[in-house]
Structure formats: structure tokens, C-alpha cells
Amino acid sequence: MTNCGAGAPRARARRSHGDAPAPLRRRGRELVGVAAGAEGGRVARVIRNIIFDWSGTLVDDLPAVLVASNAVFRQAGVAEMSLDEFRREFCLPFKRFYDRYVPHVPLEQLEPWFHAAFREAQDQVTALPHARAFLEFCRERRVRTFLLSSVHSLHYDRQAAATGFAEFIDFSYVQVWDKRARIGRLLAEHGLAAHETLFVGDMEHDIETAHFGGVRSCAVLTGYNEVEQLRAAGPDLIVEHLGELQQVLIDGGMSLAEPRSEGKPGAATETPGHDGEPPVPTVGGLIFNAAGRVLLVRTRKWSDLWGIPGGKIKRGETATAALRRELREETGLEIDGIRFVLVQDCIASPEFYRDAHFLLLNYVCRCRQDGPVVLNDEAQAHQWVDLEAATGLPLNTPTRVLIDAVRAAPEFAAPATVR
């Protein structure tokens, strides 16, 4: 885990990019600071303002930033980073990151290197799934929207135009090197009540910024930092993506209520037998191919550990129908030879991105043909691996339990022969 971002804010941020007051833009529509939701007498918890981070929250610029950062490292004569290393090590304010890896190169030199390479690569930047729908949701609910980002104004202009997101942001502050030093003034300039304001970001620095401003905070898993890093920063909420945040706000009457659909955690962990939300039944499948290898997927919501595809059973759906559907959605594979292996209690696993109580129905199966695996946006990587070799990978605990059970029972380890 990175050790970045734990210090106190500097009294005055460096300003080679023209930091505070950063470029201030105003969209041309009149602002109405009234949220549509209501919670009886508890209106203080309603979120009326959202401050967004940009990179990793609204757009996916990670591939382009990695290309540009490695161009910097090459020119500085230091080793390049893999994507995983970069996600672990990159931190804001980014001067801290560069001070650690290329302390012998002045920032005045690093910047032109970075921006030249980024300009070449930034056509790879794309809108994140759910981002546009979430911005439209904010507009419908008359939530005021702000941007507080370290992105360079030239890159922001191009990316905002390409995604069409600029029209959804009421005020944008870009080239802000240390957001902690800026958020107080942002709140004051717009008269935002801290308890009605939510900061959404993908990095520890974003959550720390929310703490500095005294506002609510939501971490998303669509960007740079991993679950463990984000959890350590202490956000009010961690969501997989903005689509989940939207559902949380709808369910909570525009407040930050805990999601209702995942087996409300505290009931099970703190007061067994408490009459709260019941556990959530899910299915998961260890898929064998014709060569006898099994498919593993790596997901951010399981702390970037390797696991099996699967998901929740829908009302009215049988468990095996849910298994076929989930595996098709998440891998593009059709399966046969389904065999039930075991059921696991999964209560508030620290490996899962938030507190939840699942009942995991675990199966083995085989894919009908060795077609290409097509992941949806829930997983970031996949691999086919021998069952024995799988045990040497960083697996999430339920998957390790399942694989151990399959290895111990030969009839499960060869489902390709099952008719």
C-alpha cells in the first residue's frame, strides 16, 4: 500500500500549472440548489452538491497516464512500471510521487516530458461506464456539480469535449495540485453546506480532501487506488462505480444510506439473529475448459484478488439459471456439466469492497467451447490456469476454499467428462 497522502496540507501549493485560483468555468444554465429527495425531518443529510474528481472517477485515463509516466521514466533513466505497480504507487499530490521515483529530475523537466507523451496517448481516454448516466441523474435531481481535479486544463478541455461531460459540470477547478488546500475556498465561494456536499473520487487524496473540507466522501473503484488504500482513508462509502452510487442515493432519498440489497451487514456481524436484511444468495462457478484449466478473473471489488465469476440470484430465477446467466454476462461463455460443490457463508469479508453478508453457492462446470472470454466491466483481467497452479495465485478466500474442495474430490476436478 502506498504511504502517500497522509501528511498535512502545505500552506501554499506550488503553482507551475497555475494552481489556486484555478481556472473557474461556469456552465450557462441557472443553478438551483434544491435537491429533489426528502427524508421527513432529516433534510440535513440530503446531498445537494457533488464535487467530482475527474481521472478514474468520470473518465478512464489510466492507460494514457501510464504510457506518459513510463515515457517520463524512460527519459529519466529509471525503470518503467507495470499497470499494477503504477496503481499501487501513484499518489497525489503528484510531486510526491515524482520525488520518490525521479528525485534527480526537476519538475520543470518532468512536466514537458509527461504532457508531450500524454498528448499522444490521450485519445485512449474514455468515459467510464455509468458516468454519463450519473451526471444526467444529478441534473434531473438538481444536484449542483463541481469538478476538483489535478488534470491539466488543456487535457481537461479535450477530454471534456470528447466525452460531452463539460455541460454537466456547473463549476470546474482544474490543475489543482493539492485539493486539500483548495476545497475550503470552493465551499466558501459557492456557499455550500458541508453536510449537504459529497466528494466523489478514486484516490486516498480525494477522501482526505473531503475530510479537510468536512464534507461527505464516496470512493469509487473505477480508478487508481485499490480497496485497501481507499478503506484506510476512511470514506463514508465505497462503491464499485457511479451506477451503484446513483442507486444508493435513490434508495436513501438522496442521502448516503447504506445499500439495502446486500444483506445489511451490521445485523449479522454485531447482533447475530438480528431481524435486519437477510443474507444475499449468490452463485459462482469454477469453469473448466477442454484442456482441464480453470478460469479465474480479477476484480477490484474483491481487492484485486483472483476469483471465480458469479453473482446474485434474481427473484424467480433458479440457482443454475442464475449461474448460466452470470457466467454468460461476465465471461461471454456458455456452460454445461454443472455440479454443485459446496455452500459458503461469507459474512463481512474484509476482502470484499464493503460490508456484506452473502451465501455463496459454489459450482464447477465446463464451457461448451473454448471461445474467447469477453469480460464485462466487473472484472479487469482473466486467465486460464491449471488447478494446481491456481493455488499459487493471490486468490480471494472463498475461491481458495472452493478450489481446495475441488482438488480434494477428483469427481469435481474433471467436469468435462460429466454428461
* DSSP helix, strand, coil percent of the chain (3-state; round to 5): 40, 20, 40
* Closest to Mg ion by CB, 56 or 235: 56
Nearest approach in angstroms of CB 218 to Mg ion is 13
Nearer to Mg ion, 202 or 277 (CB): 202
Euclidean distance between CA atoms 37 and 141, whole angstroms: 8
Among 56, 279, 307, 309, binds Mg ion (CB under 5 A): 56
The owner of cell 472452493 is 402
For Mg ion, which is the closer residue by CB, 55 or 255? 55
The answer to whether residues 79 and 73 touch, using CB atoms and an 8 Å cutoff, is yes
| Residue 217: CB minimum distance to Mg ion, A | 13
Report which DSSP code applies to 266: H
Nearer CB in complex with Mg ion: 225/255:
225
Which range of residues in 70-78, 187-195, 198-206, 349-357 is near Mg ion by CB under 5 A?
198-206
CA–CA separation, 349 and 398 (whole Å) = 9
> In whole angstroms, how close is the CB of 60 to Mg ion at the nearest point?
10
CA distance 320 to 330: 15
Query: Shortest gap between Cβ of 10 and Mg ion (angstroms)?
Result: 20
**Which CA distances in Å does 328 have to 36, 316, 374?**
38, 18, 9
Placement of cell 506550488 in the chain: 14
Q: Which of 49, 55, 172, 255 binds Mg ion (CB under 5 A)?
A: 55
Stretch that binds Mg ion, among 55-63, 80-88, 361-369, 399-407 (CB under 5 A): 55-63
**Cα(319)–Cα(317) distance, integer angstroms:** 6
Identify each DSSP E strand in 87-149 by its residue range. Answer: 126-127, 144-148
Contacts of Mg ion in 208-237 (CB under 5 A): 223
Residue nearest to Mg ion (CB): 56
Nearer to Mg ion (CB atom), residue 218 or residue 390 = 218
Between 231 and 324, CB nearer to Mg ion: 231
How crowded is residue 26: how many other Cβ atoms within 10 Å of its Cβ?
Answer: 10
Asked if 277 is part of the footprint of Mg ion (rule: CB under 5 A), the reply reads no
Q: Whose grid coordinates read 458469479?
A: 310
326 part of the interface to Mg ion, by CB under 5 A: no
How far is 236 from 29, CA to CA, in rounded Å?
31
CB of 179 to Mg ion, least distance (A): 10
Q: Whose Cβ is closer to Mg ion: residue 61's or residue 326's?
A: 61
53 sits near Mg ion (criterion: CB under 5 A): yes
Q: Is residue 21 reached through a cis peptide bond, with omega within 30 degrees of 0 on the bond before it?
A: yes
Query: Does residue 61 belong to the site contacting Mg ion (CB under 5 A)?
Result: no
According to the binding rule CB under 5 A, does residue 202 interact with Mg ion? yes
- Classify 350 as helix, strand or coil: coil
Binding interface with Mg ion (CB under 5 A): 53, 55-56, 202, 223
